[in-house]
Structure 1
Amino acid sequence: MALQTPQHSDRNMALELVRVTEAAAIAAAQWTGRGDKNSADGAAVEAMRHAFDSVAISGTVVIGEGEMDEAPMLYIGEKVGQGGPEMDIAVDPLEGTEIVAKGAANGMAVIALADKGRFLHAPDIYMQKIAVGPGLPQGVVDIDAPTNENLRNLARAKKVDVSDLVVCLLDRPRHEQIIADCREAGARIMLIEAGDVAGCIATSRPEGGVDIYLGSGGAPEGVIAAAALRCVNAQMQCRLLFEDEDQIARALSMGITDPHRKYGIHEIAGGDVMFAATGVTTGPMLRGVLREGMGAVTHSVIMRSKSGTVRFVEAHHDFSMKTWSRA
């Protein structure tokens, strides 16, 4: 592609990305509700990895399934694509493995692409996050500000009452104080079991039903969410959270120079970026994979920071015509 190439090449690449997320979503959907998150994840990883073979890039996975000795495919540092412009890739073949295993809402297959060196190389640790949607004054919320102050400022910017705001965060014991602060301020809460990429992205679309995302989740997921939000001029701030000195040493080895730094969205996902996601199970933004005879229907979204375009794609797949497996 690279992301500086002519516009028609960007559009072609956007469709190629969707084909990759579609393959992962269809493979994972076979395991929906079957209580086996590892098989669901493994199917998505394998399908996504093989689908990359036809993409015209020289891609390097910088956010993936772990280190080479931890993951057989889509590991950090793996080269993918059939050759072309050098690009960094952030993937989550199945965002919400437990969601899909339980047959719950909002499972997705997601990919983000950026020019080489423009993604934060985040270690697989926790990351504190705050995200709001587009069309708001810059700095309307701040990760270091008290929760009630952020909610008041956001309500003022949106010209609504705090009681009209919906706060999304993971349902975890570590978020008890944030939840209490939100409720004391009068805001409403949307607790999610998993899938904080989807939670962050929900702030960017009216149908998402979310005004602000708060709390901590995976750092790799934070990079992917930042890429999506970049495409629509939304706002996000993050800070890595370390549990011990070993984690700090790991981050330093990956190029993190200040372990306590507050990252803005352009520092997490810089330059021109693309984002694609396909629903595995139905959520506020994307419908899940629907089996249709000897085929399936998928629903995807593609976002491009260069144009700010958000496209939703419904695709009807005939398995007898596919070169990749649906098993």
Structure 2
Amino acid sequence: MFLDCKIVPSHVYMNIYNFYYTHNLWLLIMFLANSFKIVLEVARQGTFVDAARMLGISAPAVSKQIKQLENQLGFVIFNRTTRSVVLTEAGKQLADCLDRSHDEMQSLLQRLSDHQERPSGKLKINAPMAFGERFLVSPIADYALLYPDVTVDVEFSDHRVHLVEEGYDLIIRIGKLENSGLVAKRLSHFASHLCASPAFLSRYGTPQSPDELKQLPAVIYSNAAAQISYQTPDNRTGVISLNPAIYANSMGMLMESTLKGVGFAKLPAFACSTYLADGRLIRLLADHKLTPEMGIYAIYPDRRYLPLKVRKFIDLLSDHLSQQTTA
């Protein structure tokens, strides 16, 4: 037969055997040969549309054929977004091996299947700088110890990244998410506080109501709306627009501007708790609750056949964050 059950791992073999059993050997060979040809063309062209044009078929037919092949093999070959189609780590190995020998193909299927049985390969992660340094250093180190066959590549930064195009396995994001077509799993949440420095309050006075904040200079996170939603002690809700003094896209800049009295700021509890405790910042309207609480999300390309290395990391991180960020 095309594949030897003594070499190919059981779940991959059974998927292909079932396909053969319900169709026939000739159909199986034709399906795989045609599918592999499509894989190579999509890899070369970078989109289903361009690959379809080169192959003389429709883009939906290309997409359907790739999905059927992924279902048969048991792993994702391409990550898809509305902007692009990019080979996964497993897909790169498959495409590289397609024009090689039969023995090499069987060996590759074995390795790719093993990735679903024990975590291995490269895990590339991106997370916000301040949050990553505060909450992710320990669980990432724990993960690396637990799974030595995984090479962890972690980047803490506050600039926007394109998960698929830049080859990340997952990214950690906080707050409101864009509708990107990616999968977002909520890991935990945390509260936010309105804070200002003693020097700022000495200059402007201490606000007693949300309305008094409207005319005060504010330090605002660049990727957030210039407004605040709140709930009063008697459960009334409201929204106020802010008067920006400075926009910043990093927690370090937000914190430094607030500490120096440039403006008041809405800050995550994990970032401002130390400064509140030592008096360098003062919490404003402490009896009001800022809404909604900020969600912490793991974002990844595809929920089908989520690689074990990613699933194990998400599980470990979810357990860690649930204990650390809800205070």
**TM-score (norm: length of structure 2):** 0.28
More helix by share: 2
Structure possessing the higher radius of gyration over alpha carbons: 2
- Per the normalisation by structure 1, the TM-score is 0.28
